[in-house]
Amino acid sequence: MRSCRSLLLLSLAAALGACATAGPLGPEGIARLEHSRADNPKSASANRSLGIAYYQAKEYPQARQALQEAAAIDPGAIAAAGRHQLPLRRVRPRHIDDVYQDGDLVVTVCDLAREELGGLAAVHWSVPDPVPSGDPGSFDAALDDLGQRVGRLALRLVPPPRPQAPASRGA
C-alpha cells in the first residue's frame, strides 16, 4: 500500500483537478458554459465546468468527453499545493488503470468518479470543489479538509508505533 503522502497527493489531484459537487446549472447555464468553451476550446477549466454541468444534467456521454478534454490540474490546485509544500507541478491526471495496484485503497472525492469506478471505490468523500469560485481560500480549505481526512484514515490503516518500555538496568 502506498504512503499516506501519496494518498494525499492522489486525493488532492483528483479533488482539486477534476470534479465538483455543486448543484445543476440548467439549460441556460450549460449554454453559457458551451459558449465559454467555444471561445477557448483547450481550456481545462472550461471543459471541466462543462463536463460537470453535463454530468449533473445526466448527459453522460457529453460529460465524459468534456471531462476527458479537461485532463489538467487546475492552476489554483497547483498554487494551493505549493503553499502547503506539496509537489504537484509534475503531477497530471491519469486514468485509474494507469495507477491502480492490487491492495490500493481507492478513495473518490468526485461523484462522477465514484459512479464510474463502482465497487473499486472503497471510500467516497464529498469535498466541495474549489474550482468554480477560483478563490485561493477555497483551494486551501479543500486541501485542509482532505489532509485531515487522510490523516484520520491513515491512523486506521497503520496505527502509530507503540512506545517501547525502557530497558531495565542491572544492579
Condensed to tens digits (0 to 9), the pLDDT of residues 77-109 reads 889 989 999 887 677 777 788 888 988 889 988
Q: Give CA torsion, residues 142, 148, 152, 158, to 10 deg.
A: 100
pTM attached to this predicted model: 0.61
> CA angle, corner 42, sides to 73 and 11, nearest 5?
15
Closest Cα to residue 55, out of 92, 110, 16?
A: 110
> CA angle, corner 148, sides to 143 and 152, nearest 5?
145
Q: Which three cell numbers stand for residue 97?
A: 488503470
Residue reference for cell 471543459? 47
CB neighbours of residue 133 within 10 Å:
13
> CA angle, corner 162, sides to 159 and 163, nearest 5?
150
Q: How far is CA 41 from CA 34, 35, 93, 106, in A?
A: 9, 10, 19, 31
pLDDT in tens, the chain (171 residues): 445 444 444 444 444 444 544 456 778 888 888 888 888 777 777 788 888 888 888 888 898 888 887 777 778 888 998 999 988 767 777 778 888 898 888 998 877 777 778 788 888 998 888 877 889 999 999 999 999 999 999 888 887 778 887 776 665
CATH for the stretch 4-157: 3.40.50
